[in-house]
Amino acid sequence: MSTGALRAHLLAAGLAGTVATSREESLRSYRLFAARDPRVLLGLDPAWGWDEADLLRLMADKCGVSGDPEHRSGPDVIDPERTLRGLDAFAARLGAAAARRVPVLLGTGHPHRLLGFYVALADALSAAGCLVLTPAQGRCVDITTRFGVRTYLLDYVRGVALVREPGLSGDGREPGAHSHSALPVRAALESAAEGGGPLPELVVGDHGWVCGAGQLGIEAIGLADTDDPALFVGEAEGQVSVAVPLDDGVRSDYYRPLTRYVLNRACLSR
């Protein structure tokens, strides 16, 4: 897929341009991040003091959202050129990892939307000789939610980590639970270290998978929406290598052109 064709797809699918994430949602996240609310920190411990104005300027620079603090309602906007630049940088990191055949870990808090995207990356990295790690499969992870502390199970689908509610089937009918927590990646890394096996040299994913790994000094790259400032703060501070701005909640098949583009740019197409 050419850059021009992908740009057109980003706009048509709502992955960039005017997106479904509302300005109200984004501003609320910036406010909570400035207050160091763990729900939006995603496992990051920012080194700098970020207030709401700082975050709005950062997100305008990284994503292309309006930098006007008086713009407080309506749909948010992502600049497709910034998405394309992010995807190119994301692909370059994947290609470098594949060339060095390093161990990798992939995980998502958006299995309903992004699982297919990450599965394709895991397959390609494995075919290139990378060890795709699956530590701590089946481990219980207690995560604080708006309903209180809930226990989830860490699971893998074709090399991609996610969490499931206990008792739900992993046979493909239930893709997993939505999660922002960094606790699953911490559990996976702890298990890998305790088992004496290799640790990942690259973590690929979103939400807490990226920020949690990056905070621990592991190279991490991922996708993030306009209401996920943590990944872009992590990128600005150096804990996250690449944060790609795009809507992370559209239909799963809308990410397939991105998959083809990224694998081609990373020289991982088969």
Mean pLDDT of 242-259: 97
* One-letter identity of residue 81: E
DSSP code, position 132: B
231 versus 196: the higher-pLDDT residue is 231
Which is nearest to 124 in space by CA: 6, 2, 259, 252?
A: 259
Mean residue pLDDT across the chain: 95
Residue 168, pLDDT > 70, answer no
Residue 173, pLDDT > 90, answer no
Residue 146, pLDDT > 80, answer no
pLDDT at position 185: 98
pLDDT band per the 50, 70, 90 thresholds, residue 219 = very high
Min mean pLDDT across 3-17, 112-126, 163-177, 179-193 is at 163-177
Q: Report d(CA 150, CA 165) in Å as an integer.
A: 8
Residue 71, pLDDT > 70, answer yes
Q: Report d(CA 259, CA 251) in Å as an integer.
A: 14
20-69 confidence digits (pLDDT tens): 999 999 999 999 999 999 999 999 999 999 999 999 999 999 999 999 99
184-201 confidence digits (pLDDT tens): 999 999 999 999 989 999
DSSP code, position 254: G
Q: Report d(CA 245, CA 222) in Å as an integer.
A: 9
Mean pLDDT of 238-245: 98
* One-letter identity of residue 16: A
Mean pLDDT of 256-267: 97
Residue 170, pLDDT > 60, answer no
Min mean pLDDT across 80-89, 99-108, 161-170 is at 161-170
**% of the chain with per-residue pLDDT over 90:** 92
Rg of the chain (C-alpha set) = 17
Q: What's the pTM?
A: 0.95
179-188 confidence digits (pLDDT tens): 999 999 999 9
pLDDT band per the 50, 70, 90 thresholds, residue 231 = very high
The answer to whether residues 227 and 24 touch, using CB atoms and an 8 Å cutoff, is: no
Domains of the chain listed by start with CATH number? 1-167+174-269 (3.40.50.10490)
Q: Checking DSSP bridges between strand 148-157 and strand 104-107, what pairing results, if any?
A: unpaired
Q: Report d(CA 10, CA 111) in Å as an integer.
A: 20
